[in-house]
Structure 1
Amino acid sequence: MPERIIIDTDMSIDVDDVGALCLAHALQDRNKAEILAVTHNTGLEQGVGAVSVINHYFGRDDIPIGAYRGPVPDALTVLRQALFNAPGHRTVTIVAIGHALNVLALLKSPGGLDLVKRKLTSDALSRWPVEVPTVFVSFDIGFWVRVGGVLKTGAPVNSPCRQAFVDFCGVVDDWAIRVRLGIPRWRQEVEQAERLEEHDH
C-alpha cells in the first residue's frame, strides 16, 4: 500500500524543494506514495505556481494545493480537508519542508491537535505531540550530499524538474530531498542507494 503524504513546502529561491516534490511524484508513479495535497508555507506566490507546474507535468492537476498566501485556497483548509478525508487511523505522513507556519496553524485550529493524533503516522518536525513519531533532518546531513546531476543530464528536456536544476547551476545540497526520503518505510531503500553511491565514488 502506498504511503499517504501531504507535502508542506517553502519552494521559493532554492531548487531542493523542486527535487523533493518531483521525487514524491516519481514514488507515486511506482505506487510507493500517494500525494494527498501540497501546501506552500511562504509568501512567495511564484512558489505556488511552481508546485502547480510540477503537478501538471506528472498529470496530477487534481492534487489540492493550498498556500499560506497566494492564488489558491488557504493552506489550513487544504491540510484539514486532506487529513479529514484520509481513510483509517494514523495513515498519513506530513512532509514539512521549511517554515512551519501552516503546521502551526493546523495545531492551533479547533480540533487540529486531535486530527493530527488521529491521522498522522510521522512527520518531519522537531516539535510535535509526543504521541506522533517524528523524523528531523539536521543541517549536516543535507550539506554533504549533492543532488541534481542525473536530472540535469538524463531527464526529458520538457521536465520542469530538470529545468529547475539546469537554471540553478546543476547540483545542490539536498535537505528537502533527504527529508522526503526520511520516511521510515523508505529508509532501507535510501540507505542501500547511498551505499552504492559511496562505492561508485
Structure 2
Amino acid sequence: MNNFKFILLTVCLLAGFTACTNQEKEAKTTPVQLILDTDIGPDFDDVGAMALMHALADSCQVEILATLSSNHHELVVPVIQILNSYFGRPDIPVGAPKSEGGVTLTSDHQVKWPEFLVQKYQYPVTYTNDAPDAVEVYRKLLSEAEDKSVTICTIGFLTNLCDLLKSEADEYSSLSGKELVRKKVKHLVAMAGRFPAGREYNVYKDASSGEFAINEWPTEIIFSGWEIGNKILTGKQCVEMVVKDSPVKDAYSLCLNERDFEGRMSWDQTAVLVAVKGYKPYFNIEQGTCTILSDGSNTWKSSENGSHFILKDNMNAETLSKIIEHYMMHQPLNK
C-alpha cells in the first residue's frame, strides 16, 4: 500500500475520532454497549486495549458498561481503575472473580509495571479482593439491558464467563446465567484460541473455565486468535509521546525497554477494535465451530451452520499497527 492510499484509508477509518457534542451524540447511531473482561497484569497489551476502548468512547462509538477483572491478583482492579480514571471515567463499575480456582498472576518483567502504576497514580482504588463479584455485576447490567444489546469482550481468562453461565436466578433476574446471556447478549468477542488448532494462554491458564464457557456459550462468538494479534506490533510511538503522567506511556515504556524493542503484539487490541467497530474493513471472517478440549487446546471446523467466527487477515499488519496505535495514543478529553 503506497503512502497516499494509507493516509486516505486512515483518515476514513478514524473519522469521528474527536469528541462529539450532545447534538452529535443524538444524531449518531446507538453506541456499542460494551462490557470488558480483562486479566490485565500478566501482559500489558490490555493497557493498549483499554486505551483504544476509551478513545472510541470519547468519540461516542461505545458506552463502557463495566470493566471486570478475570484475574484474582490484588492489583488488577486498581490498574483498571487507574486507567478508567485517567480517561475521565472513574465511575465505571468494576468486579472480580469470587469463585475458587482461577488464576492469580502479575507481570513477569523485572519491573512489575502494575505495582509501578499503583504506586505512582494515587487514585482512590479498590483492591481486587474487595471489588464486587464480577458475576453479580454481569447479572445486574444484563438484567437492565435491552434484549440482544450487550457486547461482551473478553481479553483475559474465561473464569467470569464460566461462572456467569453457571449462575442461578437472583435478585436481578429470574433467569439462569445461560438464559440471561442468550436473551441479553448480542455476541461475545474473545481474544482466545489459536486457529485452526492450537493452545492459547487465555484459555489454557484456566482450562476448565475455558472449556465450559466456550462450549456452552449460547450466542455468536467472534474469535481474535493468537495468530491475528501476534504480527501486529504496537507501543513504540506510545513510548515517544510527549505527555506527562500517562499510565499508558508508563506501562509500555517500562516493558518495551526491557524486551519487545520493536513493539508488543496486539492480541487484545484487535478484539476490542472488532467488538466496537466490527471486523470490516480490518479483517475477513470464517464461520464454523470452535471446540475447547480439557487441556485448554482448541480445534476448528468450518461450517455454514456454526455459531462461531474467526478473524482472518485482510489488511496488512503494518497498516493495522498504525491504526491501532493511533487509538492507543489518544489523550483524555479532560487533560
Fold equivalence (TM over 0.5): yes
Q: 1:147 to 1:200 in 2, by over 3 A?
A: closer
The question of 1:113 aligning with 2:142 is answered: no
Q: What does residue 144 of structure 2 align with? A: 85
Quick one: distance in 2 between partners of 1:199 and 1:37? 26
Given that residues 32 and 150 in structure 2 are in contact (C-alpha distance below 8 angstroms), is that contact kept between their aligned partners in structure 1? yes
- Local SS of the residue matching 1:49: helix
Q: 1:108 to 1:52 in 2, by over 3 A?
A: same
Matched residue type, 1:18: V
Quick one: distance in 2 between partners of 1:19 and 1:195? 20
Matched residue type, 2:162: L
Quick one: distance in 1 between partners of 2:37 and 2:252? 20
Q: What does residue 26 of structure 1 align with? A: 55
Shift, 1:36, TM fit: 0.1
Shift, 1:42, TM fit: 1.1
- Local SS of the residue matching 2:75: helix
- Local SS of the residue matching 1:121: strand
Q: What does residue 236 of structure 2 align with? A: 149
Quick one: distance in 2 between partners of 1:199 and 1:135? 18
Shift, 1:162, TM fit: 1.4
TM-score, normalised via structure 2 length: 0.55
Quick one: distance in 2 between partners of 1:160 and 1:143? 23
TM-score, normalised via structure 1 length: 0.89
Q: 1:196 to 1:141 in 2, by over 3 A?
A: closer
Identity rate, percent:
32
Matched residue type, 2:69: H
Given that residues 147 and 173 in structure 1 are in contact (C-alpha distance below 8 angstroms), is that contact kept between their aligned partners in structure 2? yes
- Local SS of the residue matching 1:156: coil
Q: 1:70 aligns with which of 126, 129, 139?
A: 129
Given that residues 46 and 269 in structure 2 are in contact (C-alpha distance below 8 angstroms), is that contact kept between their aligned partners in structure 1? yes
Q: Which has the higher helix share?
A: 1
- Local SS of the residue matching 2:223: coil
Matched residue type, 2:226: F
Quick one: distance in 2 between partners of 1:199 and 1:84? 36
Choose 161-170 or 24-33, whichever is displaced more: 161-170
Given that residues 7 and 96 in structure 1 are in contact (C-alpha distance below 8 angstroms), is that contact kept between their aligned partners in structure 2? yes
Shift, 1:113, TM fit: 0.8
**1:143-196 Cα deviation digits (max 9, x unpaired):** 1110112222226322211111111116211111111122274323545x9459
The question of 1:56 aligning with 2:114 is answered: no
Q: 1:131 to 1:76 in 2, by over 3 A?
A: closer
- Structure 2: which 5+ runs fail to align? 1-29, 98-127, 169-175, 193-213, 258-262, 284-313, 323-335
Shift, 1:197, TM fit: 4.0
Q: What does residue 325 of structure 2 align with? A: none
Larger Rg over CA atoms: 2
Q: What does residue 176 of structure 1 align with? A: 268
Choose 76-85 or 149-158, whichever is displaced more: 149-158
Quick one: distance in 2 between partners of 1:5 and 1:144? 26
Q: 1:12 to 1:172 in 2, by over 3 A?
A: same
Given that residues 6 and 35 in structure 1 are in contact (C-alpha distance below 8 angstroms), is that contact kept between their aligned partners in structure 2? yes
Quick one: distance in 2 between partners of 1:72 and 1:42? 12
